[in-house]
Structure 1
Amino acid sequence: MPLKSVQTLNNLKPNFEYLCRLCDEFNTTGFYPFAIEQKSKQCVQARQFPKRAGNNEDPATGVAASALGAYLTEHKVFYPLKDAWNSYKIIQGVAMGRPSIISSEMFI
C-alpha cells in the first residue's frame, strides 16, 4: 500500500480491530504500507500490521519485504531497472522504536 511520504507512514495510528475486519474481508494476512525514502538509493520505509498475530506491528518482516521488492520491480518504481539483480533497502520498525533494515533483491 504506497503512501506519499515517510512522515505520513510514521504518523499512522491504525484502528487494529478495523484492520482485522478488512483483512478478513479481503482475505489478507495483514497490511504493509510503505513510502519511498530516498529514490536515488532505492530505499523504502514500511510498516507491517499483521492480522491477529499476537502483536499489532512487526519490526521486521522478510516475507512482506520480499513481496515489496517484487512490487517495486514490477511497477518500475526505481527506474531504470538493471537487467540483472535489483536491490532494495527496506527500513521497517522505525515508528515503533525498533528499526530494522531488510534487503530485498529481484532478478529480471
Structure 2
Amino acid sequence: MLNRRGHAQPDDGYVFATAAGLVRAGATTDGGWFQQSLQQIDPVDPSPALAALGLTPDDLVGTSSNAAAPRTKTLLPLRNTAVLRGLRPHAAAVERACTEMGSTGLYPYAVITEGQVEARQFPRASGYLEDPATGIAAAALFFALAASGELPRGVLQVRQGVAMGRPSLITVEAGGQSHHQPRTCRVSGAVRFA
C-alpha cells in the first residue's frame, strides 16, 4: 500500500511492529515479501490432528512436527495431493486438536516435486475453517524441510488454496549465507488488491 501511495521503499524494506514482534517486509513489482525467523521445530504425535482431519497413520509419509516461525503450526506430510484435497474437517475438531497439540493451525501438505508442495491450512480459531495463503505456515514448513535436508537449493514453493478454489503460490527462500540450516527466510508472493 505504501508503494502504491508513492512512498519510496528502502532497499531492505520496512519494519512493522506486530503482535508477533518486529517484521521486516517490502514490496515487489507484483507482490510483497516479509522475513521470518525460526523459533523451534519439534516432532509431535500426530494422533489428534489425524482424528480431526479424518486421516489414518497410513496417510502420512514422514515425521509430523510442530514448527514455530513464530506461531506454531502442526506440519503433517501426506502421501499425495488426492489425500490432501479430500480433507473435509470440522472447525470444532480442528480447534480441539490444535489446543491439545499446542498449535495455532494444522498444515497438512503433499510433496509435488523437490522444492514444491501443495498445502492446506486449518487455523485453530480464526473465524474461518481454511486459509488460502498462509505465509507463516509456509515459513514453518520451509524450516522443517530444510532441517531434514529436503531443500538442497534453499527454496520452497507452496501451492495453497487449491482445494477451496482460491489458489495461491508462496515462495520461501533461505535468508543469510546457509540454505542447509537457515535461521531466517524470505516469504514472498504476488498480491492482488480486492
The two structures have a TM-score, normalised by structure 2, of 0.50
The alignment partner of 1:33 has SS state of strand
Residue 124 (structure 2) aligned to one of 41, 45, 51? 51
Residue 89 (1) aligns with residue 157 (2): yes
Unaligned runs of at least 5 residues, structure 2: 1-75, 181-194
Residue in structure 2 matched with residue 27 of structure 1 by the alignment: 102
The TM-score with structure 1 as length reference comes to: 0.87
Mapped partners of 1:13, 1:77: distance in 2: 28
Which has the larger share of helix?
1
> Where in structure 1 are there 5+ consecutive unaligned residues?
none
Which structure has the larger Rg? 2
Q: Higher relative contact order at CA 8 Å, sep ≥6: structure 1 or structure 2?
A: 1
Give the counterpart letter for 1:63 in structure 2.
I
Residues 18-64 of structure 1 show CA distances to partners (whole Å, capped at 9, x for unaligned) of 1111111122101000000123xx11000000011011000000000
Distance 1:27 1:76 in 2: 25
Amino acid at match of 1:24: T
Of the structure 1 ranges 86-95 and 13-22, higher mean CA displacement relative to structure 2 is found in 13-22
Identity, in percent, stands at 42
Q: How many residues align?
A: 101
Taking the aligned partners of 2:79 and 2:172, their CA distance within structure 1 comes to 21
Q: 1:65 aligns with which of 138, 149, 158?
A: 138
SS where residue 32 of structure 1 aligns? strand
Q: Does 1:13 align with 2:88?
A: yes
Structure 2: distance between partners of 1:49 and 1:5: 18
Kindly report structure 1 stretches of 4+ aligned residues shifted beyond 6 Å. none
